[in-house]
Amino acid sequence: MDFVDILQLNKHEVISVVGAGGKTSLINYIANRYRYNKKVLMTTTTKIYIPNKDVYDDMYMVGAKTGITIPKTVGVTVVGKYIRGEKIVGVNFEDLKELIPNFDLILIESDGSRRKKLKGWNNKEPVVYYNSTKTIGVLDITSYGMSIKDNNIHRLEELKKITDINNIKININNLVDIVLNKNGLFKNSYGERILFINKVENKANEEIAKILTHKINEHKHNLNIVYGSIKDDYFKIIKKNGR
């Protein structure tokens, strides 16, 4: 079973992806699966690096209400407000309202992490569209055991507000807090909530992922949990609350 099968997508799904450690890769993975039979919108409500040309078919910048009509063609279309340097500045919610009817599947990168393994969230993050049907939270399993001195955490001081990381290294309880804290990974989420534990690419990391899911399932939650690897095209679903 691959990730797309697990998602069980309906027509006009609006999927917002948050977190760190594989958001862009996951969006590219999903988009590629539907590239040749659906009209796929790839966009952001924050900022993203300009994608490689091999992952999309068309790109448009809508500017300040320029009146551009997005063509209704099968393929992956990247849409942003404008390009600044290496990044695409994202669209706002009003833009999304106009864009969504033109597409069969909408994929929104709704969080920024500056390519770090973990992040904390300020008052304005993540920027999840309120009509999202699914919010996927990405968690990098290789962040377990890393030192907070490794410069692999975006907004470290914000992260310290939701979990005790004064022990210098990231532990299982820290990861549980990141997932379940009301100001953590699923802050501002809408629709079905899916936790994706990424980079499970060896037996050691799979054991850590199993321990993490067990710890999460000791708490009341409404998450569907998947662990695996985008790179290896390997995914395992853990049913809601471990049942």
Confidence band, pLDDT 50/70/90 cuts, at residue 150: confident
pLDDT at 7: 86
Q: Please report, for residues 47, 55, 70, the alpha-carbon distance to residue 14 in angstroms, rounded to integers and kept in the order given.
A: 18, 19, 17
Q: What tens digit of pLDDT does each residue of 77-121 get? A: 999 999 999 999 999 999 999 899 889 999 999 998 888 999 999
pLDDT at 68: 57
pLDDT at 162: 95
> Residue 80 pairs with which residues in a beta bridge?
61
Q: Which residues, in sequence order, are CB contacts of 163 under 8 Å at separation 6+?
A: 173, 174, 177, 178, 181, 184
pLDDT at 10: 84
Task: Return the minimum-mean-pLDDT range out of 99-113, 128-142, 175-189, 199-213.
Answer: 99-113
pLDDT at 113: 87
CA pair distance 26, 171, nearest whole angstrom? 25
pLDDT at 27: 97
**Of the candidates 144, 154, 206, 153, the residue with the CA atom closest to the CA atom of residue 175:** 144
Report pTM: 0.94
Q: Is the pLDDT of residue 124 over 90?
A: yes
The arithmetic mean of pLDDT across residues 118-141, rounded, is: 96
Which residue do the tokens 């390519």 mark? Answer: 115
